[in-house]
Amino acid sequence: MKKTYKIDVDCANCANKMEEATKNTAGVKDAVVNFMALKMKVEFEEGADVDAVMQEVVKNCKVVEDDCQIFF
Amino acid sequence: MTKKQKNLLIRVLASLAMMIALVLLPLEQVPVLRFVLFLVPYLTAGHDILRKAWKGIRNRQVFDENFLMAVATVGAMALGEYTEGVAVMVFYQIGELFQSYAVGKSRRNITELMDIRPDYANLEEDGEVQRVDPDDVEVGSIIVIQPGEKVPIDGVVVEGTSTMNTSALTGESVPRTVREGEEVLSGSINQDGLLRVRTTKEFDESTASKILELVENASSRKSKSEQFITKFARVYTPAVCYSALALAILGPLGSMLLGGVPSSTALWGDWIYRALTFLVISCPCAIVVSIPLSFFGGLGGASSRGILIKGSNFMETLSKVDTVVFDKTGTITRGNFEVVGVHHNRREEQELLELAALAEMHSTHPIAASLRRAHEALAEGGSASHTGSHTGDGSLCEAENMRAGGLPEGDLTQRTVPCVSEVREVSGKGVIATIDGKEVAVGNSRLMEELGIEAAPCHSTGTIVHVAVDGTYEGHIVIADEIKPGAQEALTALRSAGVQKLVMLTGDLRATAEAVAKEVGITDVRAELLPGDKVAEVEKLLQEQKSGRALAFVGDGINDAPVLARADLGIAMGALGSDAAIEAADVVLMDDDPRGIARAVRIARKCIRIVYENIVFAIGVKLACLLLGALGIANMWLAIFADVGVMVLCVLNAIRALWVRNL
């Protein structure tokens, strides 16, 4: 399943780091962060609990870039 | 400017002013006071960086740019280089501010270019019109579109006539007229008349929403250059940081052991200063932001001209195109047949056309339609006493026939309503009809053969329609698919854009195909192909393709999805409103002007050139400054330029990608 989220982040490199962090979250199959459109597309693994996974994604993103937001 | 940006601007300006004042003040005699005073602008500009750096350390994010800046500036302060310390912080923040402003600005610019998102719909329910969210309008509802309003949802006009401005969708500025029963697409602007429209799609499925989604998603499909930069950034920062560390330790040790320089604070300080300049240059911001920004600008600029490129990766492929394969119909030719010549014997050109048009009155064949159109056009343009009505209902004609009591003789053009009866189709050959009592046969040479009439051969290419009246041969009409205006110009433009090989594929007869090719200037023609053969031809051409170059296939998006998919790059033309074409292609030209292809190539070339310029310039300057820094020639001011200056220049260069008006 794929979902798109709006995000807020200030720098392009941070967006790349967020993408990496999201990809490495359990339950996430693939992720693309689009810095220009400020959007994040997350592909979840089958049967993943989307809300729980997203909580983890936010936590992991905050580690690599404190000043970021994901709206969901 | 956002509040965040304004705050930062004030802080940056304040600390810059303080810094300059402090440099000018004679404080050399009071070092402690000097340090404390310099701390004020330092903290004003950089307190948030220091705080973020602290959080980064706790999260073990050592190569976080805040951390790097913090180490560099704290180090500079510790070495007593107060001005440099403050300056690095201030300029770093100026860079950040500029970057965030520029990125925000281009985001807005592109949204404005793509200003097709409607905010509301006027929903008509039980005779009352209400302004609602377009998301809430169900398929089949009636919406009212006032002059000056944007069409919110795709639909069919049920009442009213107006001209529509579709420039936001197609880049085409000539307005289009719509009347009852015709389709209107969301995103176009109603210019003068009031329209009542029955919606045929949900808001999300409508053209405007689809296009916006496509443009927004396009920058998610990352190009090779972006992937390269992401990888580069991942290696670059740690590499520079470790080099800095090595420089700080090995530099002085090396000098001591090899050069025999005695250990001293000055020696260590010098090498640490060099290491700190490394840290300032280690931030990859310039390239990391400028590459996606260039692509975003290029994609946005292209869509403002009616060219939708579905991903940054396709932008890259498009720039490498050196072979363009056309599917003739719908790209070079219009795909609708036109009368191109009337070779008549005794009768007038108009009369011959009229006879043919009347005989084919009830046929839905494209050739019949072209005969009717040509006749109407001629009748309207000419001085004929009768216009229109020939394509009308036959029963009216019969009624008049009876009233007239038979078959009036004489010139057809003097009559108001000619009579058509006993239309008989001869399958695959043509039509035989009785028009005003005369037996008129309209069809191909086989029909003439069947009737035993000798048909004159024709040297023109195209479909030949012979006409015979009461067994006498009267001449023939040549019908051909019309070449699009601008087709020849489009091919010339492609050649001058560096496309070397142009190939035309078609299912048509060789003679017809070659005539078209000759007129527009294509030498490589592959005719009489079945749909499956087209894939095979493209595969053959792909094998001949030089590596690093790309082959684009241009089709009208109808029935050519497999070929569109097989080519390196599939381009669909005239795809406005055709979901299937938009789905199948990588690049979509919203209008059907073939000149758009060369334009798309030029836009892509420009965009990719900017991307390469930025990569080479940013990496080049950084490496040069690193080298100079290691040798002790570059000071921290140069390092600031290598970081902030390069970023500003790259961003400004990237913004150029958006300017595609003259391409």
Find the CATH number of the domain harbouring B200: 2.70.150.10
Does residue B488 share a domain with residue B478?
no
- CATH code (residue A51): 3.30.70.100
Between B335 and B320, the more confident residue is B320
**Three-class SS state of B509:** coil
B77 found inside a domain:
yes
Does residue B149 share a domain with residue B89?
no
B242 found inside a domain:
no
- Range A26-34 average pLDDT: 91
pLDDT digits (tens, 9 = 90+) for B14-23: 999 998 998 8
Contacts with A65 from chain B: Cβ below 8 Å: 64
Distance from CA of B114 to the nearest CA of A (A): 13
pLDDT category of residue B416 using cuts at 50, 70 and 90: low
Check whether B320 has a pLDDT greater than 60. yes
The mean pLDDT value of chain A amounts to: 89
Q: What ipTM score was computed for the predicted complex, to two decimals?
A: 0.85
Does residue B393 share a domain with residue B505?
no
pLDDT at B408: 45
- CATH code (residue B548): 3.40.50.1000
- Range B521-546 average pLDDT: 88
Residue B491, CA distances (Å) to B31, B309, B485, B517 in order: 73, 20, 12, 11
The residue segments making up the domain with residue B554 are: 306-333+484-603
Contacts with B55 from chain A: Cβ below 8 Å: 66
How many distinct structural domains can be found in chain A?
1
Distance from CA of B295 to the nearest CA of A (A): 9
- Residue in chain A nearest B651 by alpha carbon: A12
Which residues is B195 bridged to in the sheet? B145
pLDDT digits (tens, 9 = 90+) for B375-390: 888 777 654 334 333 4
Does residue B548 share a domain with residue B518?
yes
Cross-chain residue pair A10–B59, CB shorter than 8 Å: no
Across the A:B interface, residue pairs with CB atoms under 8 Å apart total: 63
B502 found inside a domain:
yes
The answer, for B99 touching chain A at a CB cutoff of 8 Å, is yes
- Which of B211, B246, B274 is where one domain is finished? B211
Cross-chain residue pair B289–A64, CB shorter than 8 Å: no
Residue B326, CA distances (Å) to B70, B513, B538 in order: 58, 12, 10
* Degrees to nearest 5, angle at CA A61 with A54 and A33: 80
- Single out the residue of A33, A13, A31 nearest to residue A23, CA to CA: A31
Cross-chain residue pair A34–B100, CB shorter than 8 Å: no
The answer, for B222 touching chain A at a CB cutoff of 8 Å, is yes
pLDDT at B417: 66
Distance from CA of A46 to the nearest CA of B (A): 22
* Degrees to nearest 5, angle at CA A58 with A54 and A63: 145
pLDDT at B575: 67
- C-alpha B544/C-alpha B522 separation (Å) is 18
Does residue B459 share a domain with residue B426?
yes
- Range B237-261 average pLDDT: 87
**Three-class SS state of B31:** helix
- Single out the residue of B647, B27, B652 nearest to residue B287, CA to CA: B647
From the CB of residue B397, how many other CB atoms can be counted at a distance below 10 Å?
20
The residue segments making up the domain with residue A10 are: 2-71
How many distinct structural domains can be found in chain B?
4
Interface mutation vs chain A, best among B97, B288, B294, B607, most A CBs within 10 Å:
B288
Whether the CB-CB separation of B433 and B422 falls below 8 Å is answered with yes
- What is the DSSP pairing of strand A2-8 with strand A39-44? antiparallel
User: Which among B59, B217, B288 has CB closest to A12?
Assistant: B288
- Single out the residue of B325, B307, B327 nearest to residue B560, CA to CA: B327
Does residue B350 share a domain with residue B457?
yes
* Torsion from C-alpha of B291, B293, B299, B301, nearest 10 degrees: -130
Whether the CB-CB separation of A57 and A33 falls below 8 Å is answered with no
- What is the DSSP pairing of strand B321-327 with strand B333-344? unpaired
pLDDT digits (tens, 9 = 90+) for B537-574: 999 999 998 888 999 999 887 778 888 888 999 998 87
- C-alpha B564/C-alpha B587 separation (Å) is 10
pLDDT category of residue B413 using cuts at 50, 70 and 90: very low
B320 found inside a domain:
yes
Does residue B506 share a domain with residue B474?
no
pLDDT at B199: 93
B321 found inside a domain:
yes
Does residue B542 share a domain with residue B461?
no
B615 found inside a domain:
no
B291 found inside a domain:
no
Does residue B64 share a domain with residue B27?
yes
Distance from CA of B330 to the nearest CA of A (A): 34
User: Which among A35, A39, A65 has CB closest to B292?
Assistant: A35
Positions of B marked catalytic: 327
Does residue B51 share a domain with residue B129?
no
